[in-house]
Amino acid sequence: MPKFEVPRFTFWRGVLLVILALGTYSTVVRVFQGLAGSTNLSDSFPWGIWIGFDILCGVALAAGGFTISATVYIFNLEKFRPIVRPAILTAFLGYVLVIVALLYDLGRPWNVWHPLVMWNPHSVMFEVGWCVTLYTTVLALEFSPIVLERFKMTKTLHVMHFIMPLLVVLGVLLSTLHQSSLGSFYLIVPTKLHALWYSPLIPLYFFLTALTLGCAMTIVESFLSHRAFGKQLEMELLVPLGRVALLILALTSVIRFADFRHRGILGLPFQATYESRLWLAEMLIGVLAPGVLLAIPKVRKHTTGLFLAALLIVMGVVMNRLNVSITGMERSSGQIYVPAFTEIAVTLSVVGVGFLIFALAVKFLPVFPEHEMKEARPIVVPAGGNVSGQPIRSLPVPALVVVALAFFGAVALGADGVRRREVDPGPPAPSATKPELAAALASFTPPAEIVFPQAPDSPGPASFRHASHVDASAPDCLSCHGNTYSFLGRKEAPPAGQMHDTKHCGGCHDGTSAFAIEADCSPCHKAE
């Protein structure tokens, strides 16, 4: 680690410490006060940022794992091998942290294993549960050579190398499946998710954006590793990744245009609503700006330029996931959701722990294997040399303008959108007047007569007749029912001899509300 980086590092360590402290506090709140005390979730808004960010973004941000491992092992593009390990490590960390975050969100986290034994093949969540479990296992196995190497366990290492292609195919399949399935979650809510994000193609969008993100994350990560650990910046690998990302961005945009055209909502993004503004901001940050940057060869080959473009893609996908899970769901829920402080603290902690473990792994495990670097390649930026990459001011002017416009444009759109935030008015308000009941009262039938069992010393059989107790023109069931008297009939007859007490007839027949019981038996007891 270069010496001059220590102060910067200390600052970040301080930030991390503060975040983890707040996260620990929030964890205590979550455990002892439940979801009510630790979140702003409600019956009308049951999923917040713990799902929208920690799960949806967490899984997507780990997409570098399957993107890069497929590139190396399946497409046999050997030159990408040096970045396989950091990508796998990130993915593995990502998934472990997603599972940890899920435990915060689940109401009964101790039942998290249930989907493995209680099956529902019709459930997307069931499929995702299985895929995440299997893929985390596969990632652990894919990551194992790094640990085995560290501890010189060559025999096992050979076995691992032999089955690696199989693992990679399995991993690619599993991650492809559930990257798209996270989108499929929302297929079931056509009436709830806003039309800008709801689409029959949402699983495909989630998959394609995950692919783009896989490339972008690899670029961002290489850049950060280069900054933090003085690792070599493999520009000749990263530039093609940028090109692939551009290609998928373009493909996704064409599909999205066709989809909007097909559904007849091409004009929807340009309405003055909260959703439209945030959709435009998402497209500006995540598609248009990085698309333009990557399309300029000079920017693509510029370390800082490439990094900026990748960073924009990452931000765009994060915005997309939050828009799907929060922005797009608010109007129909009739509820504006703002995460609680504790929700944000836990989310930041999960990210912070990810950074921490990554840094530790790099320190103690051969994550950046030197011996896998084959013959010398042209090195754009030598390790430990100019670790900050090319300065941003050396970017072409149009690129700088695009970045600035995208940033300020998105902020302006977002701010305007939030100003317009509104929710469904809900059901029509009751009119001031009571409904006209004449027609309804025509079908009023007082319930049947209840004949009471006769006690041995009773002067004669007695019964309760609704007809003589209820005003049929304005029946008021709750004046007797709902507290003292059952609606659904007793399990057994009232005990003989207790009928006169206040729990039964005596409740009203006390001489004030109705005639007193003691005065005369004949009104109730019919002599035999």
Partner 1 sequence: MLKPQTKGLLLDTTRCIGCGACALACKERNKLPKTSDDVLKDELSDKTYSVVKQVGPRYVRRMCMHCVTPSCASACPVAALEKSAAGPVIYHESKCMGCRYCMIACPFGIPKYEWEKKAPLVRKCDLCADRLEKGLKTGCATACPTGATSFGDRDALIAEAKERFRANPGRYNEHIYGIEEVGGTSVLIISDGKAEELGYPAGLDGTAPAFLTWRVLNIIPDIVMTSAVLLGGIYWIRNRRDEVEAAEGSHHETPKEH
Query: Site residues for partner 1, window 38-57 (CB under 8 A)?
Result: 41-44, 46-47
Q: Which is nearer to partner 1, 272 or 488 (CB)?
A: 488
Residue choice 15, 17, 18, 106 for contact with partner 1 (CB under 8 A): 106
Residue choice 443, 468, 512, 513 for contact with partner 1 (CB under 8 A): 443
Name the nearest CA neighbour of 207 among 312, 100, 66.
Answer: 66
Residue choice 20, 99, 127, 506 for contact with partner 1 (CB under 8 A): 127
In angstroms, the CA 105 to CA 528 distance is 69
What are the angstrom distances between the C-alpha of 505 and each of 140, 380, 411, 518?
73, 96, 70, 12
Among positions 406-435, residues that touch partner 1 (CB under 8 A) are 426-431, 433-435
Residue 59 is encoded by which pair of tokens? 């899984």
Residue choice 21, 188, 404, 516 for contact with partner 1 (CB under 8 A): 188
Task: Give the type of residue at 61.
Answer: L
Residue choice 26, 90, 179, 184 for contact with partner 1 (CB under 8 A): 184
DSSP string, 293-304: HHHSHHHHTSHH
Of the ranges 109-117, 226-234, 347-355, 457-465, which one interacts with partner 1 (CB under 8 A)?
109-117
Residue choice 7, 264, 376, 486 for contact with partner 1 (CB under 8 A): 486
Task: Specify whether the CB–CB gap between 504 and 494 falls below 8 A.
Answer: yes
> Would you count residue 441 as binding partner 1 (CB under 8 A)?
yes
H/E run at residue 414: helix 397-419
Task: Specify whether the CB–CB gap between 62 and 22 falls below 8 A.
Answer: no
Of the ranges 127-135, 151-159, 288-296, 380-388, which one interacts with partner 1 (CB under 8 A)?
127-135
Residue 212 is encoded by which pair of tokens? 């783009």
Phi, psi of 481 (to 5 degrees): -85, 160
The maximal CA–CA distance of the chain, rounded, in angstroms, is 115
| Contact code string over 309-328 relative to partner 1, x by CB under 8 A | --------------------
Q: Compute the C-alpha angle 50/51/55, nearest 5°.
A: 100
Of the ranges 21-29, 124-132, 143-151, 303-311, which one interacts with partner 1 (CB under 8 A)?
124-132
> Would you count residue 118 as binding partner 1 (CB under 8 A)?
yes
C-alpha atoms less than 13 angstroms from C-alpha of 300 in its C-beta half-sphere: 17
User: Minimum Å distance from CB 166 to partner 1?
Assistant: 9
Residue choice 126, 260, 464, 515 for contact with partner 1 (CB under 8 A): 126
Q: Which is nearer to partner 1, 267 or 435 (CB)?
A: 435
In angstroms, the CA 146 to CA 149 distance is 5
Helix axes 274-283 and 397-419, enclosed angle (nearest 10):
160
Total chain residues near partner 1 (CB under 8 A): 88
Residue choice 230, 475, 506, 507 for contact with partner 1 (CB under 8 A): 475
Residue with tokens 């497209």: 283
Among positions 242-281, residues that touch partner 1 (CB under 8 A) are 243-244
Residue choice 1, 159, 163, 189 for contact with partner 1 (CB under 8 A): 189
Of the ranges 164-172, 273-281, 360-368, 457-465, which one interacts with partner 1 (CB under 8 A)?
164-172
Contacts with 15 (C-beta within 8 Å, 6 or more apart), sequence order: none
> Would you count residue 490 as binding partner 1 (CB under 8 A)?
no
